[in-house]
Amino acid sequence: MCTLPTGITPDQQAAAEQALLRFADQFDPHHLAKLAARLRETLTTIDTSPGGHNPHTDSHTGELTDTPTGATLIHGELDAEGAALLRTALDSLAAPHPATDATPDRRTPTRRRADALLDLITRALGAAAIPTGGGARPHLTVTIDWNTLLANGTIPALTSCGLPLPHSVLTRLSCDAEVSRIILSPAGMPLDVGRSTRTVPAHLRRALVARDRGCTFPGCDRPPSWCECHHCVHWTHNGVTALHNLVLICGQHHRQVHHDGWTITFTDDGHPAYIPPWRIDPHQEPRRNPYTQHPTDLLTSAI
């Protein structure tokens, strides 16, 4: 709860406290805090905005705290302008994504907001406008034992912050990634450095965009610019980086495919179709995304 500004008269203070007591009977804590902030802004005579008489320099603070479970807690404070920008950006991305066949979006509102924040960050890092650091565009860097990547090792993969990554996350991240191979001596000294590119080359991505026209997950309307490339058979399991093993998919649905057990198959005419996990569809019917189908296909397609 915010405090009243200094410099107000005793009468103003009494009136404000009376008003807050009245509101407390009628509103929940969330709305009460908003009303208190409005009251405070009405009574203050000092401009606390950036560039004002007495800027409130602590109004943009953020703290990241690592937890023992390998997650990170975000705690921060934004002023009204910053909060409005953040909410505008997140609200447009955090809407539920129900599939057209009435499969509901099972994510909670908080999970949807967190996914939206990740989408936003991924897109920002992928944009050319982001400044380069150390000669390479800033992306997530993961250090991993080769056997862990092939799923039979026990040494966990680590992010550049030193936090371990679950194997399913690692599989998703390495779907379309640049891999640097560094062989270490038993004493931990680099013996050899190689580089193999596992990224989907630009010409192949253009072909994918022409075929898929956006996220291929059933019911999704995200355009190609929001999409990542997914290897249906992962390259660590000898899946090839070729059109018949790749799909365009948005970040949220890429997470869903890797973590919730969706399977991707291809129709006879070469288009991707999704088979839900058994708990969602015991009949295991493959389904295509009608949003990205040609109108003529919609009339003739069986799935």
Minimum gap (Å) between residue 233 Cβ and Zn ion: 10
Task: Choose, by CB under 5 A, the member of 5, 200, 253, 255 that binds Zn ion.
Answer: 253
- Dihedral of CA atoms 248, 254, 256, 262 in degrees, nearest 10, equals 50
Q: Minimum Å distance from CB 214 to Zn ion? A: 8
Span of 46-54, 120-128, 253-261, 280-288 interacting with Zn ion by CB under 5 A: 253-261
94 interacts with Zn ion by CB under 5 A: no
One of 39, 200, 230, 274 touching Zn ion (CB under 5 A): 230
H or E segment and range at residue 256: helix 251-260
CB of residue 162 vs Zn ion: minimum separation in angstroms? 24
CA angle 124, 149, 201 (to 5 degrees): 50
State which of positions 208-227 bind Zn ion (CB under 5 A).
Answer: 215, 217, 220, 222
Among 16, 99, 250, 273, binds Zn ion (CB under 5 A): 250
> Could you tell me where the beta strands, DSSP code E, fall in 17-124?
61-66, 72-77
Instruction: Find where tokens 């996220």 sit.
Output: 215
Of 259, 265, 253, 263, the residue nearest 228 (C-alpha): 253
Minimum separation from the CB atom of position 251 to Zn ion (A): 8
Residues of span 174-193 touching Zn ion by CB under 5 A: 175
Cα separations (Å) of 70 from 74, 87, 107?
13, 27, 21
Binding site for Zn ion (CB under 5 A): 172, 175, 215, 217, 220, 222, 230, 250, 253
